[in-house]
């Protein structure tokens, strides 16, 4: 239901209180995003978070006229020019959001119309379904006016988005041939010779973080000395992965493997991407909490922007430090102490292609998964923990992959949002693709990005 009460035979009068609407339109469109993005080549991880930011911002700007205690973000986002809603105009707010999502989703995922027509078709199907629903809840003139408003806002957002030349349609060239990674001790190179993924993503326009915020703290100094901190980090990954492999019947080994696989979210055509995982978590919270349209508008604008800024900061830092991955270090250095390390690979496999021991084709430090977890965790906690409506921590069961059979997808329980996001960050160690320092710093960098988003002048 769009309205909390039935319309009966009375004509709809536009409410200035978004709390009279539920958040179903967001739940519906987020599910479409999950279903489409899973197959979107070139979108992971940065472009997906970026699209979430623009979708969330556009929907927020569609309804902020009905949020008297909130500000538009137009004054703080340089170059953004939005249409004005004439005073007294009646808008059926869910319909405006529906039109905004439909327009932007079709433009952001235009390449899927020919490559994955079934998934691309979900966008038009969802728009039509909700359009028909809202047509039964209101009257034609109001519905047309509302959808026109949503499209006008979305078109203005998209025009502004296109002026970010480093980000616009960057998914079409995720591994540019003009980038050559630096060479030297401890610097990243891909074990299979793959080109670097999104080496220029750190130059993409952000929403809230400063240039200084984008640079992670220095990693642990590189060393091949067995007594060094860097060596210890590699040794932890090596032993954790080997423990999982060599002790399949051990409950602790199973738990570690479960954590690694549960949070992987890396594989195109199989799962949604890492930043989108936080949207899936927010959707699950929404199913039990039943927040209003006003709360959803603010939540998903902030969440998308924080995820995006975190991704830019992490990728800026990745290619600033160019720290190598555990697999190359372990093979090259640890084999002096452990002969079996010479052919060591990660625990990440692709059940669709049969590829074994995958490691992402970009530098390790800091971790992208961890950055997205940190950003999403701060935003979600700000809404659902230690508030008048939600005292204490938020306890939940994450069922994101409960219908999957390609990996250990059994739901996991958490007593707080921070426990969930810290596990998401840690999961990269048992998977064998990150050092602990990558996870710790990624988490911190994501938290900073979210804090900067929260510091924007959302409230009057």
Of 15-19, 70-74, 104-108, give the lowest mean pLDDT range.
15-19
- Residue 452 predicted with pLDDT over 50: yes
pLDDT at 406: 86
- Residue 444 predicted with pLDDT over 50: yes
Q: Work out the pLDDT band at 290, boundaries 50, 70, 90.
A: confident
Q: What share of the chain is helix, strand, coil (3-state, %, to 5)?
A: 55, 5, 40
Burial of 352 (0-12, 13-18, 19+ CB in 10 A): exposed
- Residue 265 predicted with pLDDT over 80: yes
Q: Average of pLDDT values for 441-447?
A: 98
pLDDT at 330: 98
- pTM assigned to the model: 0.95
Digit-coded pLDDT (tens) for 294-341: 999 999 999 999 999 999 999 999 999 999 999 999 999 999 999 999
The DSSP line for 342-401 is GG---S---TTT---S---SS--SS-HHHHHHHHHHHHHHHHHSSSSSS-SPPPEEE-TT
- Residue 12 predicted with pLDDT over 70: no
Digit-coded pLDDT (tens) for 34-43: 999 999 999 9
Lookup result for tokens 């966008």: 123
Domains defined for the chain, CATH in brackets: 18-162 (1.20.144), 186-454 (1.10.606.20)
Lookup result for tokens 């995003």: 33
Of 162-166, 199-203, 348-352, 427-431, give the lowest mean pLDDT range.
348-352
- Six-digit token pair at 387? 């508030």
Q: Average of pLDDT values for 364-388?
A: 97
pLDDT at 365: 98
pLDDT at 22: 93
pLDDT at 209: 98
How many residues comprise the chain?
Answer: 460
pLDDT at 6: 34
The DSSP line for 258-294 is HHHHHT----TTTS--HHHHHHHHHHHHHHHH--BHH
Digit-coded pLDDT (tens) for 63-102: 999 999 999 999 999 999 999 998 888 999 999 999 999 9
Q: Average of pLDDT values for 25-41?
A: 97
- Residue 381 predicted with pLDDT over 50: yes
Task: Considering only residues 263 and 407, tell me which one the structure prediction assigns the higher pLDDT.
Answer: 263
SS3 12: coil
- Residue 388 predicted with pLDDT over 80: yes
Digit-coded pLDDT (tens) for 213-257: 999 999 999 999 999 999 999 999 999 999 999 999 999 999 999
Do 431 and 346 form a contact (C-beta atoms < 8 A)? yes
- What percent of the chain stands above pLDDT 70? 97
pLDDT at 405: 87
300 backbone dihedrals φ, ψ, rounded to 5°: -75, -25
Q: How far is it, in rounded angstroms, from Cα 242 to Cα 240?
A: 6
Digit-coded pLDDT (tens) for 224-233: 999 999 999 9
Mean pLDDT score of the chain:
94
Q: Work out the pLDDT band at 16, boundaries 50, 70, 90.
A: low
- Residue 10 predicted with pLDDT over 80: no
Q: Average of pLDDT values for 374-380?
A: 98
The highest-confidence range among 45-49, 263-267, 353-357, by mean pLDDT, is: 45-49
Contacts 24+ apart (CB under 8 A), 400-409: 400/277, 400/280, 400/281, 400/284, 401/262, 401/271, 404/271, 406/270, 406/351, 406/352, 407/261, 407/262, 407/264, 407/351, 408/257, 408/258, 408/261, 408/262, 409/261, 409/262
Q: Average of pLDDT values for 381-389?
A: 92
pLDDT at 15: 52
Q: How far is it, in rounded angstroms, from Cα 325 to Cα 304?
A: 28
pLDDT at 2: 41
pLDDT at 4: 36
């Amino acid at each position: 239901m769009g309205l909390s009460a039935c319309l009966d035979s009375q004509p709809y009068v536009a409410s200035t209180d978004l709390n009279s609407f539920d958040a179903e339109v967001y739940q519906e469109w987020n599910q479409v995003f999950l279903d489409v993005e899973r197959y979107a080549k070139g979108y992971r991880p940065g472009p997906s978070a970026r699209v979430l930011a623009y979708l969330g911002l556009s929907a927020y700007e569609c309804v902020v006229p009905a949020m008297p205690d909130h500000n538009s973000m137009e004054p703080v986002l340089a170059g953004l020019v939005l249409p004005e809603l004439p005073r007294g105009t009646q808008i059926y707010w869910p319909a405006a959001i529906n039109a905004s999502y439909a327009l932007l989703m079709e433009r952001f995922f235009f390449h899927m119309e020919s490559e994955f027509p079934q998934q691309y078709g979900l966008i038009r199907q969802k728009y039509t379904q909700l359009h028909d629903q809202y047509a039964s809840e209101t009257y034609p003139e109001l519905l047309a006016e509302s959808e026109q408003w949503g499209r006008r806002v979305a078109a203005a957002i998209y025009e502004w988005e296109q002026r970010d030349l480093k980000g616009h349609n960057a998914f079409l060239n995720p591994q540019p041939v003009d980038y050559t990674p630096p060479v030297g001790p401890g610097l990243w190179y891909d074990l299979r010779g793959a080109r670097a993924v999104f080496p220029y993503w750190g130059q993409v326009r952000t929403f809230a973080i400063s240039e200084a915020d984008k640079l992670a703290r220095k990693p642990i100094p590189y060393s091949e000395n067995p007594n060094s901190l860097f060596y210890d980090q590699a040794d932890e990954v090596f032993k954790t992965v080997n423990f999982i492999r060599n002790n399949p019947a051990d409950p602790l080994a199973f738990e570690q493997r479960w954590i690694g696989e549960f949070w992987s979210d890396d594989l195109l055509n199989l799962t949604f991407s890492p930043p989108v995982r936080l949207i899936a978590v927010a959707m699950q919270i929404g199913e039990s909490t039943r927040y209003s349209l006003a709360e959803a508008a603010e939540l998903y604008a902030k969440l998308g922007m924080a995820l995006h800024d975190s991704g830019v900061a992490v990728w800026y830092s990745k290619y600033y430090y160019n720290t190598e991955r555990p697999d190359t270090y372990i093979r090259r250095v640890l084999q002096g102490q452990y002969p079996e390390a010479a052919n060591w690979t990660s625990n990440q496999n692709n059940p669709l292609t049969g590829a074994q021991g995958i490691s992402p084709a970009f530098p390790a430090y800091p971790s992208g998964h961890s950055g997205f977890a940190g950003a999403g965790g701060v935003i979600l906690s700000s809404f659902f923990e230690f508030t008048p409506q939600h005292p204490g921590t938020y306890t939940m069961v994450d069922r994101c992959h409960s219908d999957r059979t390609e990996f250990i997808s059994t739901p996991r329980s958490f007593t707080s949002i921070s426990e969930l996001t810290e596990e998401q960050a840690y999961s990269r160690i048992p998977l064998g693709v990150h050092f602990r320092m990558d996870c710790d710093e990624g988490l911190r960098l994501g938290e900073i990005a979210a804090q900067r988003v929260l510091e924007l002048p959302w409230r009057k």
